[in-house]
Amino acid sequence: MITMAARPAPPALRRPSGDALFTGWAKATAAAAFLLLFAGGMVTSTGSGLAVPDWPLSFGGMNPPMVGGIFYEHGHRLFAGTVAVMTGVLLFLSRRPGVPSGARAAALLASVGIVLQALLGGLTVLLKLPPAVSMSHACLGQGVFCVLLAAVVLSVPETVFGPGWSRVFRFAALGFGAAYLQLALGALVKHTGQGLGWHILWASSVVVLAALACFTAFRSRAAALRRPALLLAFAVPFQIALGLFALLVRVDSSLALGFREAALWRTAHLSGGALTLASFLLLALKSRRTAEAP
């Protein structure tokens, strides 16, 4: 009797194990991008967008006198160059074998976005601050920050799965879209002085979606969703408080602030919007990754 030898089983496909160097560098780059948003907001809030009239150089060189509006505009350019270099290094590190494909795609998208962001920044100066270009520059900056944040989350393979959190993802994803539109409306107000009523009205949709996302996340009792839900629960009220104060300064002439103090408050409101956007994104990504099939 002839017996057939058992055919060896094919080797199991291994999930990417992650790469600590890539993840650490992605965190640093995302943090730098967040600070760059603040630096860019200070340029707009102080009216320093044309303090340096040429681009890419500043008064024909790289070391202009750092006084007045030049400090904000040229400082913003130097910081933007630093973030661009860090993003390029992140793209290089994404080729390491342990980096998951999603994180590689995010690094590539961030690299493309940072180049477009630089070109839009140059156009805002060369074309003398046209509102459409300035608004696109502001919105794309938020997008690049979000993609870098996604690269951080996607670089760490998840091992906990559960099919019950799709509702959290839907509310968080809708909230992310609503928050991004809210930031665009804020850019419209900042660069044209129009649309304040729509900006205030649309904030209610962000609040409702944040409440639904947090409620469903806490109700799921998923440990992986607790921190992003807590961050969102803090970010939205904090942003509302900053917005109300900015509105109060705008309509109440008796509340006089110094030039720098007023600029800092307006820029803090912009940074609070970025924090809200990041909170929605983190919750959406975490809920999606913990719900995918092994």
User: Where does residue 58 rank: exposed (0-12), middle (13-18), buried (19+ CB within 10 A)?
Assistant: buried
Bridge-partner residues for 58, per DSSP?
Answer: 61
Helix (H) or strand (E) holding 203: helix 196-220
Q: What is the DSSP letter of 163?
A: G
Q: What is the pLDDT along the chain (294 residues), one digit of tens a residue?
A: 444 444 444 444 445 567 899 999 999 999 999 999 999 999 998 889 899 999 988 988 888 989 889 999 999 999 999 999 999 999 999 999 999 999 999 999 999 999 999 999 999 999 999 999 999 999 999 999 999 999 999 998 764 444 557 889 999 999 999 999 999 999 999 889 899 889 999 999 999 999 999 999 999 888 889 999 999 999 999 999 988 887 776 655 455 566 677 788 888 888 999 999 999 999 999 988 765 444
The radius of gyration of the chain from alpha carbons, rounded to an integer in Å, stands at 22
Angstrom distance (rounded) from CA 184 to CA 25: 29
Structure tokens at 59: 């008064």
Question: Model-level pTM greater than 0.85?
Answer: yes
* Residue 257 vs residues 42, 246, 260, 264: alpha-carbon distances, Å: 16, 11, 8, 10
Question: Using an 8 Å Cβ cutoff, are 70 and 115 in contact?
Answer: no
Cα-Cα-Cα-Cα dihedral of 245, 250, 251, 252, to 10°?
A: 70
At residue 167's C-alpha, the angle toward residues 175 and 172, to 5°, is 20
pLDDT the model gives residue 4: 44
Angstrom distance (rounded) from CA 181 to CA 290: 27
Angstrom distance (rounded) from CA 252 to CA 287: 43
Question: Using an 8 Å Cβ cutoff, are 111 and 84 in contact?
Answer: no
> Which amino acid belongs to residue 274?
A
Angstrom distance (rounded) from CA 285 to CA 29: 19
CB atoms near residue 156 (< 10 Å)? 18
pLDDT the model gives residue 81: 95
Q: How far is CA 30 from the centre of its chain?
A: 8
* Residue 200 vs residues 83, 149, 185, 203: alpha-carbon distances, Å: 32, 27, 9, 5
pLDDT the model gives residue 13: 41
Helix (H) or strand (E) holding 122: helix 101-126
pLDDT the model gives residue 61: 86
